[in-house]
Structure 1
Amino acid sequence: MPVHSPLDLPEGDPFGPENLPYGVFTTPGDARPRIGVRYGDHVLDAGAAARAAGSPHAELLAAPLLNPLLAAGRPVWTAVRAAVRAWLTEDAHRAAVEPLLTPLAEAEMRLPFEVADYVDFYASEHHASNVGRIFRPDAPDPLTPNWKHLPIGYHGRAGTVVVSGTPVVRPSGQRKTPADPTPVFGPSVRLDIEAEVAFVVGRPSARGTAVERGDLREHVFGLCLLNDWSARDLQAWEYVPLGPFLGKSFATSVAAWITPLEALESARTAPPVRTHPLLPYLDDSADRPDGFDLRIEVVINGETVSRPPFSAMYWTAAQQLAHLTVNGASLRTGDVYASGTVSGPEPDQLGCLLELTKGKGPYLADGDEVVLRAWAPGPHGTRIGLGEVRGQIVPTRY
């Protein structure tokens, strides 16, 4: 029987030549972190392939992190993507490239880039409304007065962004229920998930300048799934008046694979209809559609509990980037900004346990494993797979 080549993918593989996400991996026989491109259920050693092809981008692709490639900018990203596709699909490269493919099961994935800053937004109207009804049941409007006028966000902790598969230690901290006379200290008993999408910044911007909505693709390299683990009991006690802190900063999990924005052109979609006039720097009414049709799945202990649609997000990545920099804040290579919890209008489209259980629980127990998966429409009826985010809760260490 003929030997199957990893270059010959089955029809409809979501990690085919229309996708080509980037990551960083090691193997049992070679502990050097190196850039990989996922192709089917294999990983291409991009640096080795570039050297074999005599590519002018060989040095960028030989780096142990994606940061040099991220910083190179859109023309280089486009050129490298075209070259990688050629290496994987053209017969002229077949003999040189085939030995450079490692089975995914034998690759240990690393955090693919050094995270510079981390910002988390709150861009789902459905999520914000549901949370408002839980915490402010008597309020005439579940949304805060500013919500329809700007993308609300907060600055998080970059040092605890971890790659998919990293165990999540149950955090400890202060908490206080209405029945407690004083705060108590101990492990979180309301540990939650937040199914989100993260955007990874490549080209930086100068401090004191603003990035316009239309420049999203000049600065953002790609996107990935993100789980912003949340200790709801710690958060509820600490967040007034300055917002999330220890209830969020203990762990944020990202996928091992970054999908280039170029792979998602067929997934672009119009955001929901705006109900309030927007200031000019946020007004996208005349823009090309900048939403993304991503179909997310939330799986807990092997059971699918929700399917949040990213297309329902009120604020787009382009608007978030414009708002993030409108005060003159600079972008750095490796910045990550996340969408906030993705929730849709239906009961089976909610992106966190707080919403799914209407605040009553149960929340995550030690040993629970959460997996986020997603796909997007690709060209010619194909599907673009996003790298999964997996994390298991382990008991507190203190």
Structure 2
Amino acid sequence: MAHLNPTHDPARRAWVASANVPDAEFPIQNLPFGVFSDARRTRAGVAIGDEIADLDALLGAGLLDGDAAKAARACADGRLNGLMALGPHYASALRAALSELLRSDGARRARAEAMREHILVPMARATMQLPCAIGDYSDFLTSLHHTERHGRYKGLKDPLPPAFKSLPIAYHGRASSIRVSGTPVRRPLGQYRNPDGAVEYGPAPMLDFELELAAFVGQGNVLGQPIPLGAAADHIFGYCLLNDWSAKSIQWWEQVLGPFLGKSFISSISPWIVTQEALAPFRLPAPARPDGDPAPLPHLTDAGDRAEGGIDIALEAWLSTPSRRAAGEGPLRITSTHLQNLYWTFGQMLAHHASNGCNLRPGDLIGSGTISGADDAARACITELTNAGADPLKVGPEEFRTALEDGDEIVLRARAQRPGAVSIGFGECRGRIEPALSVAAAGRPR
């Protein structure tokens, strides 16, 4: 588990003024990693205020040395996988070096600021890319409230799967269709059962979002060698927002071995990875289990995870509709939830994932599952917000939703916050729905 160090000092300020404004997403205490491109090329960078510190430029200017330079060189191919593979020490060294270079009262400020035009790129002039090559993607089901509600909607006698309180349940998702925030979401075609019970193929009528947090694996493990829960935190590089778009009409008809075409058409992630170390001031005890629930088995039990397995992160989902945009209105907040609504910690997810010897690799993505809470406001998908369509969601004076429509845009946001610490953000995870292709057009080669 990462520990507090000078990079977390709440009194520290940056000479980049935009990093010091109230509620800045990327103050100097954050320094998340990402990959961006501009007119020149694609490369790795670190967010500071509304600028990007260009790691290639910092290396070229001789502003990084030692382990920090080794960490930056590991990203020279325009991906973060190499840095992830080095382990937490090197990412920590690079964060420390950047914090010193960017701090307003640092000994190296004058030299760094004199090269500002060379080492900083305005975010407005950059296009964000996927931060790494994602070889594998596993999505968990770890909110008791989300799971129970969906079980009731399906009419199950016992809405919770028998294994839910014994292990973190997951399915193997589709890594090839993960896209960065801002990528349009094409409504998928698929097979589903219509209200009359007939099976048909066409544009999915029940499109939904799912508000999640995801962890990127840092150092992996050798095939056949589990990762103990006490060491799991050292294998998590950092976190991003995840929208696990779901075509519920397809999913609920096809699901036998787990989600398939109802999920694999696209998943969206925010572009910046907030590191495990940056979140050290926001650690919480693992979420409390209800009285009478079974204690986790030994491979899912660790004193450190019980003490610091949770993170103080508030998450929101916002909906923008075509009519709201036409009227000049901003998006409507439809979900406000918290990471503590999960039943299992990310450490437990990762440790269980590797408990059979499954080899995790740098850049693998682990989704939390929909982060729904007990309160109505904490329902984290349209299906829950509308009680499976029984109670349409009001989105305008005379406009309602039971599912997402073409032109709707979902924006996910999150902040880690705790008294005495500088709050940090994750950036947005945004996606707007485009109409499905016609069935005829879908069958034509491109």
TM-score (norm: length of structure 1): 0.94
Between the aligned partners of 1:283 and 1:46, the Cα distance in structure 2 is: 39
**Deviation readout 1:59-85 (Å, 9 max, x if unpaired):** 224331111111111111111111111
Shift of 1:328: 0.8
Q: AA paired with 2:166?
A: H
- Residues 167 and 393 of structure 1 are in contact (CA less than 8 Å); yes or no, is this contact kept in structure 2? yes
Number of the residue aligned with 1:394: 434
Give CA deviations for 1:329-380 in whole Å, capped at 9, x if unaligned.
Answer: 0011110010000011110111101100011151111111100000002683
Deviation of 1:136 (Å):
2.1
- Report Cα offsets for 1:261-284 as digits up to 9, x if no partner: 101112111233222122100124
Asked if the contact 1:36–1:45 (Cα under 8 Å) also holds between the matched residues in 2, the reply is yes
Q: Which sits farther off after the overlay, 272-281 or 318-327?
A: 272-281
Q: Which amino acid aligns with 2:228?
A: E
Q: Does 1:263 align with 2:274?
A: no
Contact 2:142 2:344 in 1 (8 A): yes
In structure 1, what is the equivalent of residue 236 of structure 2?
220
SS of the residue aligned with 2:300?
coil
Q: CA deviation at 1:7?
A: 4.9
CA distance in 2, matches of 1:54, 1:235: 49
Q: Does 1:20 align with 2:21?
A: no
Which structure 2 residues correspond to residues 42-61 of structure 1 after superposition, within 5 A?
42-52=51-61, 53-55=63-65, 56-57=69-70, 58-61=72-75
**Alignment pair present for 1:344 and 2:356:** no
Pairing 1:278–2:288 present: no
Distance 2:184 2:304 in 1: 44
Distance 1:292 1:86 in 2: 26
- Give the direction of change, closer, same or farther, for the CA distance of 1:234–1:131 in structure 2 (3 Å limit): same
The aligned amino acid for 1:377 is Q
Work out the percentage of aligned pairs sharing the same amino acid. 42
CA contact (8 A) 2:229 2:351 kept: yes
Cα 1:379–1:64 change in 2 (3 A) is: farther
Note the alpha carbon deviations across 1:226-249, whole angstroms, 9 max, x for none.
000000000011002x11000000
CA distance in 2, matches of 1:337, 1:174: 27
Report what 1:355 is aligned to: 384
Contact 2:335 2:380 in 1 (8 A): yes
Assess if the C-alpha contact under 8 Å between 1:258 and 1:387 holds in 2: no
Structure 1 equivalent of residue 326 of structure 2: none
Q: Does 1:10 align with 2:16?
A: no
Does the Cα contact within 8 Å between 2:337 and 2:373 map onto a contact in 1?
Answer: yes
Tell me, in whole angstroms, the C-alpha distance in 2 between the residues paired with 1:84 and 1:237.
Answer: 50
> Contact between 2:317 and 2:411, CA under 8 Å: does it hold in 1?
yes
Within 2, Cα distance between the matches of 1:86 and 1:374? 26
The Cα RMSD (Å) is: 1.8
Q: Which runs of 5+ in 1 are unaligned?
A: none
CA contact (8 A) 1:366 1:393 kept: yes
Structure 2 residue 182 is the aligned partner of structure 1 residue 165: yes
Distance 1:298 1:351 in 2: 7
CA distance in 2, matches of 1:220, 1:317: 9
- Distance in 1, matches of 2:19 and 2:345, equals 33
Q: Which amino acid aligns with 2:87?
A: G
1: CA distance between counterparts of 2:33 and 2:344?
26
Is the CA contact (8 Å cut-off) linking 2:217 and 2:362 kept in structure 1? yes
AA aligned to 2:235 is: H
What is the alpha-carbon distance in structure 2 between the residues aligned to residue 230 and residue 54 of structure 1? 43
Q: Are the structure 2 counterparts of residues 48 and 152 from structure 1 closer, same or farther at C-alpha, using a change threshold of 3 Å? A: same
Q: How does 1:195-234 map to 2 (within 5 A)?
A: 195-234=211-250
Distance across 2 between alignment mates of 1:8 and 1:230: 36
Mapped contact 2:229–2:301 kept (Cα < 8 A): no
Q: 2:44 aligns with which of 35, 55, 65?
A: 35
Question: What amino acid does structure 1 have at the position aligned with 2:127?
Answer: E
Name the residue aligned to 2:92.
Answer: 78
Contact 2:316/2:412 (8 A) holds in 1: yes
Secondary structure of 1:131's counterpart equals: helix
User: 1:176 maps to which residue?
Assistant: 193
Q: Deviations over 1:17-64 (max 9, x none)?
A: 11001111112x31x111111111111112211332142324224331
Letter in 2 for 1:277: A
Is the counterpart of residue 372 in structure 1 residue 388 in structure 2?
no
Q: In 2, distance between residues paired with 1:263 and 1:107? A: 23
2:423 matches 1:383: yes
Q: State the Cα deviation string for residues 180-212 of structure 1 (Å, max 9, x = none).
A: 24x200010000000000000111110001011
Q: TM (normalized to structure 2)?
A: 0.84
| Helix, strand or coil at the partner of 1:224 | strand
- Deviation string 1:62-111 (CA, Å, 9 cap, x unpaired) is 33111111111111111111111112113242213454212211111111
Segment of structure 1 superposing worse, 93-102 or 72-81: 93-102
Q: Which moved more, 1:270-279 or 1:34-43?
A: 270-279
What is the SS of the residue equivalent to 2:350?
Answer: helix
Matched to 2:412, the amino acid is L
Q: Within the alignment, does 1:64 sit opposite 2:78 as a pair?
A: yes
Moved over 6 A (4+): none
* Counterpart amino acid of residue 284 in structure 2: T
Aligned length: 389
* Cα contact 1:343–1:351 (8 A) shared by 2: yes
Shift of 1:178: 6.0
Query: Which is worse superposed, 214-223 or 371-380?
Result: 371-380
